[in-house]
Amino acid sequence: MYEYLNGKLIEKNPAYVIIDCQGIGYFVNISLNTFTALPDKEQCKLFTHFIVREDAHILYGFMDDFERNVFRNLLNVSGVGASTARMILSALTANEVIDAIARGDVALLKSVKGIGLKSAQRIIIDLKGKLTMTEEESSILSFAHNSLKEEALSGLVVLGFSKQMAEKGIDKILKAHPEIERVEHLIKEVLKLM
């Protein structure tokens, strides 16, 4: 129904954004990869996927049509819902997902929270040969170390983790990898840990 939204970025969070389009604020769920590519408080365009359920109307936004296409293909796999597809695209880039499917890398897909052995195998079987690579694109934002922890914590809580569990995971990763400077890398490492 909605192909894209083009407006001013009002609020930006690792799991969602609010975009003002002609005076209407749209709450749009995003992946971590889209979060890193978005500018701060500027005009932006997100390609959207709109899901209508009995109890909710939900918008998902993507920086490019390529990531949206991977998301839509993941939704076609039995047992993979929108939250799981977004989790996959937060832990891995769209190109990494396609590469894992092409190589039959069950272990990589299983490393994503909520994906078990059978789900990983089903994704590979259902999507092998259906998706092709495109050139990798990303303009990645850097964050100061103390806001890095806050952003990662906020993103993990919105993704469904308890605050206490997320904090423990973040602290463990930061102790093991103090060189991490990007929130998306920190969240990806925490997702692998949990």
Question: Domains of the chain: which residue ranges?
Answer: 4-62, 65-127, 145-193
pLDDT in tens, 75-125: 999 889 999 999 999 999 998 899 899 888 999 999 988 899 999 999 999
pLDDT given for residue 136 in this prediction: 37
Q: Which of 43-47, 74-78, 83-87, 132-136 has the lowest average pLDDT?
A: 132-136
Provide the 8-state DSSP code for 40. Answer: S
Amino acid at residue number 185 = H
| pLDDT average, residue stretch 148-175 | 82
Q: Which CATH number fits domain 65-127: 3.30.70.120, 1.10.150.20, 3.90.1300.10, 2.40.128.30?
A: 1.10.150.20
Q: Which CATH number fits domain 4-62: 2.40.50.140, 3.90.76.10, 3.60.20.10, 3.40.920.10?
A: 2.40.50.140
Give me the chain's average pLDDT, please.
Answer: 84
| pLDDT average, residue stretch 141-159 | 67
% of the chain exceeding 90 in pLDDT: 43
pLDDT given for residue 132 in this prediction: 65
Q: Which CATH number fits domain 145-193: 1.10.8, 1.10.4160, 1.10.1410, 1.10.10?
A: 1.10.8
